């Protein structure tokens, strides 16, 4: 008999990770999935939770899955370039990225999130060799649990905008101080995007609060991070994924992304640090 986990109680900000999990599950059920995360669909079935309250549409699910694929591709590329690296997934939520990537045993992987989120992950996901789950706020002192002896990729998907700006900057400063060399990849909202958060359906329905908007990579100059690339919201969808959208929706999306103020509301930021 399949185990069903009940009594899931997250804060508003934390509950967004259930909304994105549900979006990946919806994508997995579609005829032409973008991410094809069947693990997400399995996990949704095992949680006794009202996912319907998020009202995640097929278009929402497409956006969630497309962004996830962009992150997966960055992780795969880093692991390919550094087969004996460390990967740190900040604010992992219920994301099954480590299972999608399936890195070789030479890669050390750390999933970081609040203790109650990690507790739920332990109940739903199998243990995996060389994968460590750490129950802590990303702004707490968890870095001592990550050995600083390898080049490291730090990824944070759907996280930075929920952080207090000062705490977010301090987080990246500590990452750079603790780890010898590596890269950081995350998505961010512009300051306008944070101010316009009520237009984000998933954030609004989860009653979450966005706090940190980043307009330019120079705002992180004091952290020791060196910009590699900054891509606007049109990069959230891999080129091959556009064909998965219905023609009318595709035209609407592409038309909206031609407007600079809309295109710049979301960014993918890639940095390096160390030698």
pLDDT in tens, 203-252: 777 777 899 999 999 999 999 999 999 999 888 888 888 888 778 888 88
3-state secondary structure of 52: helix
CA-to-CA distance for 17 and 93, rounded, in angstroms? 5
Residue 181, pLDDT above cutoff 50: yes
Q: pLDDT category, 107, cuts 50, 70, 90?
A: very high
- In this predicted structure, the answer to whether residue 11 has a pLDDT above a threshold of 60 is no
**When comparing pLDDT for 197 and 71, which is higher?**
71
According to the model, what pLDDT value does residue 243 have?
A: 83
What is each CA distance from 219 to 191, 250, 257, in whole angstroms?
12, 33, 24
* pLDDT given at position 25: 96
- pLDDT of 138 higher than 50: yes
The yes-or-no verdict on residue 260 having pLDDT over 90 is no
Is residue 146 exposed (0-12), middle (13-18) or buried (19+ Cβ within 10 Å)?
A: buried
Mean pLDDT, the chain, as a whole number?
A: 90
CA angle 237, 239, 243 (to 5 degrees): 95
Share of the chain above pLDDT 90, in %: 68
When pLDDT is cut at 50, 70 and 90, the band that residue 122 belongs to is very high
Residues 107, 236, 176: CA angle, nearest 5 degrees:
45
Nearest partner of 172 among 273, 72, 78, judged by Cα: 273
Q: For a pLDDT cut of 70, what percent of the chain falls above it?
A: 93
In angstroms, how far apart are the furthest CA atoms of the chain? 53
Cβ(75)–Cβ(101) under 8 Å?
Answer: yes
Number of Cβ atoms within 10 Å of the Cβ of 122: 12
Q: What pLDDT does residue 2 have?
A: 45
Helix, coil or strand: residue 86: strand
Kindly report which listed range (13-17, 115-119, 223-227) carries the lowest average pLDDT score. 13-17
- pLDDT of 5 > 60? The answer is no
Q: In whole angstroms, what is the distance from residue 180 CA to residue 130 CA? A: 20
* Residue 59 CB contacts under 8 Å (≥ 6 apart), including other chains: 245, 249
Q: Is the CB of residue 234 less than 8 Å from the CB of residue 257?
A: yes
8 A C-beta contact, residue 173 and residue 252: no
């Amino acid at each position: 008999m399949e185990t069903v986990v009940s009594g899931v109680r997250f804060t508003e900000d934390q509950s967004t990770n259930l909304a994105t999990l549900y979006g990946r599950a919806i994508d997995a059920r579609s005829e032409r999935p973008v991410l094809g995360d069947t693990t997400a669909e399995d996990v949704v079935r095992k949680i006794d939770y009202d996912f319907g309250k998020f009202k995640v549409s097929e278009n929402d699910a497409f956006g969630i899955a497309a962004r996830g694929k962009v992150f997966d591709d960055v992780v795969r590329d880093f692991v390919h370039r550094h087969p004996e690296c460390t990967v740190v997934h900040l604010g992992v939520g219920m994301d099954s990225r480590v299972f999608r990537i399936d890195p070789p045993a030479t890669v050390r992987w750390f999933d970081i999130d609040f203790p109650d989120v990690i507790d739920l992950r332990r109940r739903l996901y199998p243990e995996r060799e060389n994968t460590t789950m750490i129950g802590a706020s990303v702004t707490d002192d968890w870095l001592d649990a990550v050995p600083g002896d390898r080049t490291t990729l730090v990824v944070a998907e759907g996280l930075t905008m929920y952080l207090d700006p000062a705490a977010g900057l301090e987080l990246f400063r500590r990452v750079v101080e603790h780890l010898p060399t590596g890269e950081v990849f995350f998505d961010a909202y512009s300051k306008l995007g944070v101010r316009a958060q009520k237009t984000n359906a998933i954030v609004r329905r989860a009653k979450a609060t966005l706090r940190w908007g980043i307009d330019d990579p120079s705002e992180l100059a004091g952290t020791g991070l060196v910009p590699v690339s900054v891509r606007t919201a049109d990069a959230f969808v891999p080129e091959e994924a556009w064909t998965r959208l219905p023609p009318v929706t595709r035209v609407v999306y592409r038309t909206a992304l031609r407007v600079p103020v809309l295109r710049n509301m979301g960014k993918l930021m890639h940095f390096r640090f160390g030698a």
